[in-house]
Amino acid sequence: MRHPRCLFRHEPADHPQHAYGYTAACCVPLFEGTPYAGLQAAGPYVLRCPAHGELADYARGLLERADAGYVAYLADSASLAQAVEHWRSLLTMRTDTSLRMLRFFDPRWLEPLLTSFDDRERAHFIGPCTDLAWRNELGWRHCTNPHPEWDGELRAPGWLYLSPAHQAGLEQRQLEVLAQRLAQDYQQALPMPEPVEFVLRQLLGARQAGYSHRVDMERWLRIALVKGDHFWRSPPHAEYLARDDLASADKLSVLERL
């Protein structure tokens, strides 16, 4: 039996309540009633989606965009209100030093999060859902709840704790997902036997040099395809990267011209 579906969407400009008469009971602003309520104008909504009809077609079209959101299948014992309460509890994560917002609803973060958990942590994170499906840089992805019989427990915001080691692992897994995608995009320029590992080494080098945005990391990879593996360790590249009088973007421009 197919379980009820909920779609996270992250673009409120074309609110489906306006376009399709969706009721407030089935279209919930995720930030409402949370410390992040002031950000709702640019925040996500939760839609309870039918399997067929105009809204289902709208949802399918939205999900063809890599950053649009993802689909959660509710357990039979869970209501939409319970699911929303669970998801709101995930908005705040706890670290050793502070409480921070967790953008778990962004599909670019979801896979690194899920793969960084063990089965028990993953089941607590997925909560009142049997499955999650999302579309990221690698296409459509899927994760099944390892313990799909939901116990009905709803936790307070901040229950999710990410240790420094866990956060480092999360960043590593983000790079691994990006490396897989870039290895696909640059397949023709990567004749080596382990292209994903090559790309990942370059991304790690870029991160060590202070680059975190995808566009900068991709520029770094293109430089590596010309200059070679570990180019940043050798002169004159290392000298330019160490200069304090050049902005980060300018350093990449210099490396591209060398």
So where are the chain's domains? 5-161, 167-257
**What is the mean predicted confidence (pLDDT) over 138-153?**
89
pLDDT digits (tens, 9 = 90+) for 209-235: 999 999 999 999 999 999 999 999 999
Token pair, residue 235, equals 């002169």
At residue 68, the pLDDT reads: 61
Q: What is the pLDDT of residues 242-251, one digit of tens each?
A: 999 999 999 9
Share of the chain above pLDDT 70, in %: 87
User: Which amino acid belongs to residue 32?
Assistant: E
User: Quick one: pLDDT at residue 88?
Assistant: 96
Cβ-count burial of 214 within 10 angstroms (0-12 exposed, 13-18 middle, 19+ buried)?
middle
Percent of the chain surpassing pLDDT 90: 58
Cα separation, 114 vs 117, whole angstroms: 6
Tokens of 110: 């979801």
> Which band of pLDDT confidence, cut at 50, 70 and 90, is reported for residue 16?
very low
- Helix axis angle, 164-185 relative to 195-208, nearest 10°? 130
pLDDT value for 24: 52
How far apart (Å, rounded) are the C-alpha atoms in residues 46 and 15? 11
Q: Could you tell me which of 162, 161, 165, 199 has the C-alpha nearest to residue 179?
A: 199
Query: What is d(CA 3, CA 15) in angstroms, rounded to the nearest whole number?
Result: 24
